Amino acid sequence: MKTIQGPAIFLAQFIDSKPPFDKLETLCEWAASLGYEGVQIPTWENALIDLDKVAESKTYADEYKGRIEETGVKITELSTHLQGQLVAVHPAYDEMFDGFAPEKYRGNPKARTEWAVSQLKKAAKASQNLGIDVHASFSGALMWHTHYPWPQRPAGLVEEGFAELARRWKPILDTFDEQGVDVCYEIHAGEDVHDGVTFERFLEATGNHPRCRILYDPSHFVLQQLEYLDFIDIYHEKIGMFHVKDAEFNPTGRSGVYGGYQGWADRPGRFRSLGDGHVDFSGIFSKLSQYGFDGWAVLEWECCIKSPEQGAAEGAPFIASHIIEVTDKAFDDFASAGADKELNRKILGLK
């Protein structure tokens, strides 16, 4: 068994125009002051990272890494959630997802996808230059509009969808493989890879690519009523990253999993700050530790009620209190009588 690292914090929800959230160093100093030991960097935020430079120059990457470490935290991983989303977008979502890309690519889905793919490949090299071997992203979606089978899906639709998704991702995964970095897909609503079954289908479509892994975030499992502890038992060998995020599900006679098109505060399923929701984090940390997960426990703050500042301040001690310092001995070692082959044979009644 191995000990989970942390606490760390994903900076995507905290970058802002107001100090100390407006600059890389001051944002990292703020995180360190709260007790965080690591930061996960969203690569679409130009104020936090120059992805081109980090990918192109090991010297620059070392300098960038040093600037962050001088603030008291280290880089845990890079994220391309928004770029990964743009690898595969159904035309029905073109206008809504256009905002994820630079203005010059908007209204041009082909150019937007090409840009997203290039961003992923740069992130692979950037991760390698920073000495990081796991990376966070989304799969994108071509089939999400068909996730509920009405009208009936035509035969072969799902197979074709995963084949195309894998065709787009395979060259990206190969690039990550060349750099020695895993792509950890966040299992998330709105993505074609949104539960265990869809991850299996995508993995199979990629030819069981060795760099295809999972970012585990239990909050999304609560919202879709998926058994998140059992998920760890099934997929622990594929879990490469961990977002610590809480959620609750309170169905009523008026609304359930689908949410009735309501805003986050009014939905039965909603994200909450750590400790305010329904997630059994003691069970999660126990299982991840049991299976030897030694990656970072990274707070992803999303709450429809509590402020991000309060959520972050409460998050660091919450995560720290759940990290298990795993044992290197058995609790009953004191009663051991020692053993050798001859003694073992005698105990078995053998000579």
The helix (run of H) or strand (run of E) holding residue 296 is strand 296-299
Contact 188, 165 (CB under 8 A): no
Gyration radius of the chain over CA positions: 22
Residue 319, SS3?
Answer: helix
Contact 81, 137 (CB under 8 A): yes
pLDDT of amino acid 233: 98
Residue 328 vs residues 120, 291, 319, 334: alpha-carbon distances, Å:
39, 14, 22, 14
In SS3 terms, 76-144 reads as EEEEEHHHHHCCCECHHHHHHHHHHCCHHHCCCHHHHHHHHHHHHHHHHHHHHHHCCCEEEECCCECCH
pLDDT of amino acid 336: 73
The helix (run of H) or strand (run of E) holding residue 204 is helix 196-205
Which residues of the chain fall short of a pLDDT of 50? none
* Amino acid of residue 138: F
- Phi/psi at 291 (5° precision): -90, 5
CATH number at residue 181: 3.20.20.150
Task: State both tokens at 208.
Answer: 């069981």
What is the rounded distance in angstroms from the CA atom of residue 33 to the CA atom of residue 241? Answer: 24
Task: State both tokens at 131.
Answer: 């000495």
What is the rounded distance in angstroms from the CA atom of residue 136 to the CA atom of residue 80? Answer: 6
pLDDT of amino acid 76: 98
What is the rounded distance in angstroms from the CA atom of residue 113 to the CA atom of residue 223? Answer: 29
Nearest to 227 by CA among 183, 203, 197: 197
What is the rounded distance in angstroms from the CA atom of residue 227 to the CA atom of residue 230? Answer: 6
pLDDT of amino acid 346: 84
The total number of structural domains that make up the chain: 1
Q: Which DSSP letter does residue 273 get?
A: -
Q: The domain containing residue 117 runs over which residues?
A: 5-347
pTM here?
0.95
pLDDT of amino acid 345: 86
